[in-house]
Amino acid sequence: MSGKIFWFIIAIVMAAGVVYYILSWRGAVDMPVPPTAKPMPELIFSDYEGKIVNLSEFRGPLRSRESEASKPLIINVWASWCSYCKKELSDFAVIQQEFGEKITVIAIDRRETPEAVKKYSDDLGVTGKIILLLDPDDSLYKAISGFSMPETLFVDREGSIRYHKRGPMELEEIRRRAQKILL
């Protein structure tokens, strides 16, 4: 009898995991990060020309200057093979245009060649509209324990991740999240 109970409990746990995975893939699971969350990791990437860059370069004034606030970031992890990423990259370009200098949108590609990524972003019409970086080692995806595509981080003025969205978003959700990290 106890063997049946054990397998019943295992089946329930597995079913719950499958339901969570399906909901997160469809964007129904939101990953708010508590205020005590770790700061955004400082990682090194490269731009299309091969220049090495650090995410902190895009945050504006240094956090040590208390009189000035740093700029919030929206960081999207994407790849050309991700069907959801195509629409999102265009939506992120719209958000960058709408919010202007108040926010910085950065799209970081996972493990693809610079030539392929540049061609893709050029064809999509987003090159020059948002910051596009390359992550050949997949360091950001690993650092945020990524498991879906795309993954988007909303980083506040203090450099803390306030929202971690796993899966695709519509333009209105991106806009709403961007407004919240500006507060």
23 lies in the same domain as 77: no
Pair 69, 39 in one domain: yes
Structural domain containing residue 106: 33-182
User: Does residue 18 share a domain with residue 66?
Assistant: no
40 and 17 share one domain: no
The per-residue pLDDT for 32 is 58
Q: Are residues 158 and 99 in the same domain?
A: yes
How much is the pLDDT for 24?
56
> What are the φ/ψ torsions at residue 62 (nearest 5 degrees)?
-65, 145
- pLDDT of amino acid 146: 94
Mean pLDDT of 78-107: 97
Angle between helices 83-99 and 114-124 (to 10 degrees): 60
On whether both 50 and 131 belong to a single domain, the answer is: yes
Regarding whether 159 and 132 lie in a shared domain, the answer is yes
User: Is residue 145 scored above 60 in pLDDT?
Assistant: yes
User: Are 12 and 102 part of one and the same domain?
Assistant: no
Q: What is the mean pLDDT of residues 46-69?
A: 74
Strand 30-32 with 161-166, pairing: antiparallel
In whole angstroms, what separates CA 84 from the centre of its chain? 13
State the pLDDT at residue 64. Answer: 43
pLDDT at 136 over 80: yes
**pLDDT at res. 9:** 76
What confidence tier does 63 reach under pLDDT thresholds 50, 70, 90? very low
Pair (21, 93) in one structural domain: no
pLDDT in the model for residue 62 = 41
Judge whether 129 and 81 are in contact, CB under 8 Å. Answer: no
Distance CA 42, CA 136 (A): 16
Do 1 and 38 lie in one domain? The reply is no
Strand partners, 78: 109
| 51: CATH | 3.40.30.10
150 and 169 in a single domain? The answer is: yes
Helix axes 83-99, 171-182, angle to 10 degrees: 40
Residues 173, 74 contacting (CB under 8 angstroms)? no
Task: Quote the number of domains for the chain.
Answer: 2
∠ CA 46-173-135, nearest 5°, is: 15
Determine which of 25-29, 109-113, 159-163 has the lowest per-residue pLDDT on average: 25-29
Q: What is the mean pLDDT of the chain?
A: 87
> How far is the C-alpha of 150 from the C-alpha of 167, rounded, in Å?
5
Residue predicted with more confidence, 57 or 130: 130
Please give the structure tokens belonging to residue 79: 């790849």
More confident position, 183 or 171 = 171
In the chain, the N- to C-terminal Cα span, in Å, equals: 57
Extended beta strands in the chain, E state: 30-32, 44-46, 52-54, 73-78, 104-110, 131-135, 151-155, 161-166
Q: In this predicted model, what pLDDT tens digit does every residue of 37-52 receive, in sequence order?
A: 678 888 999 999 999 9
177 in the same domain as 96? yes
Q: What mean pLDDT comes out for the span 127-140?
A: 97
pLDDT band at residue 67 using 50, 70 and 90 as cut-offs? very low
